[in-house]
Amino acid sequence: MRVLVTGGAGFLGQHVCRLLGEGGHEAVSLDLKPSLAASLSIEGSVLDEASFEAAGKVDAVIHAAALTHLWRRDVRDFRRVNLGGTVQAARHAARHDARFVYVSSYTVHGGKGLPPVVAEDDLPRPGTLFGPYAQSKRAAETALRELLPKAVVVRPSALIGPGGGAETPPMRMLGAIARGELPGTMKGRIDVADVRDVAAGVVSALLKGGEARDYLLTGHDLTLAAFSQKVAKAAGQKPPKILAPPAAALMAAHVEELIGKLTGREPQAVTAGVRMAALSSCFSPARAEAELGYRRRPLGESITDALASLGHSAEA
């Protein structure tokens, strides 16, 4: 099968391309930078129809390209890329009658009125979603369902692991803890998934996912303090000492975003991320485990490999 992978040079996309190749498929990457894991690498934008045409006839499309940070100085960038790129990818798939897998995000579940254990159908009203990133991903899902009703959607959580990704928010946090540069964290939670497990889940969604089916590809749910302690211990560092309440963290994030708006410097903490971390709910991958064979490796293995990827040797 010939599979177009948008974002094929990215943190997740390169693992997806590698797994496709190992499975005997031809992975064609479309990204702003070249992909070493793909059979064919096209440098271009998902907003440019000509970039898609350069890929030619494909049997399937995995749309993983996106603006993945939770903050942009111009919030319109989120809809322009995350919604606009999805529409372009879906139209290309429709022209070739190709199967389609969209890599969305578990943040589309981040809003008010959630149950203690969140499943795929537990979606808050769009107006209550936390921030423009989640809103753009939800808008992309809605547009996709109109263009390709049978498309499969996967929703990963925060990704860590080997193979790049140093600039993604979860990996930046992990690196700061490993260097002893994170003085504190907030009283909240994080769901951390290994990028290799999620890549395998994406490929399984392509090969085995049900039509018009959504899948949460989440990992390990734990407190931010517990995650910080695990990373610090693995890196031979002392864990962050400060544990801020959500209200204080939210206030600090508001200030950082204001400074970022004025200076263009990305905040270390953003309001959408704080609100997501303050949720008491956890996100269940039970459907993906049952239907796709999705599996989650031990968190310690993911932390160790992520540290090695960032140039930090884990403590024995």
Q: Are 242 and 183 in contact (CB under 8 A)?
A: yes
Query: What is the tens place of the pLDDT at every residue in 219-228?
Result: 999 999 999 9
Pair 182, 173: CB distance under 8 Å: yes
| Among 95, 23, 13, CA closest to 55 | 95
Q: Which of 182, 153, 129, 172 is nearest to 288 (CA)?
A: 153
Amino acid (1-letter code) at residue 110: G
Cα gap 307→192, rounded to integer Å: 14
Per-residue pLDDT of the chain (316 residues; tens, 9 = 90+): 999 999 999 999 999 999 999 999 999 999 999 998 999 999 999 999 999 999 999 999 999 999 887 767 777 888 899 999 999 999 999 999 999 999 999 999 998 889 999 999 999 988 889 989 999 999 999 999 999 999 999 999 999 999 877 778 889 999 999 999 988 899 999 999 999 999 999 999 999 999 999 999 999 999 999 999 999 999 999 999 888 998 998 898 888 878 887 888 877 788 888 888 999 999 999 999 999 999 999 999 999 999 999 987 665 4
Is the Cβ–Cβ distance between 6 and 52 less than 8 Å?
A: no
Q: Tens digits of per-residue pLDDT, 148-202?
A: 999 999 999 999 999 877 778 889 999 999 999 988 899 999 999 999 999 999 9
Burial (CB < 10 A; 0-12, 13-18, 19+), residue 176, is middle
CB atoms under 10 Å from CB of 73, counted, come to 13
The structure tokens listed for 230 are 């695990």
Residue 112 pLDDT? 85
The predicted-structure confidence for 10-32, as pLDDT tens digits, reads as follows 999 999 999 999 999 999 999 99
Answer yes or no: are the C-beta atoms of 57 and 41 closer than 8 Å: no
Burial degree of 39 (CB within 10 A; 0-12, 13-18, 19+): middle
Taking a C-beta distance cutoff of 8 angstroms, is the pair 119, 290 a contact?
Answer: no
Domains and CATH numbers, the chain: 2-164+192-219+281-297 (3.40.50.720)
Buried b (16+ CB within 10 A) or exposed e, 122-153: bbbeeeebbbbbbbbbbbbbeebeeebeebbb
- What per-residue confidence (pLDDT) applies to 315? 59
Question: Which pair of tokens denotes residue 316?
Answer: 């024995």
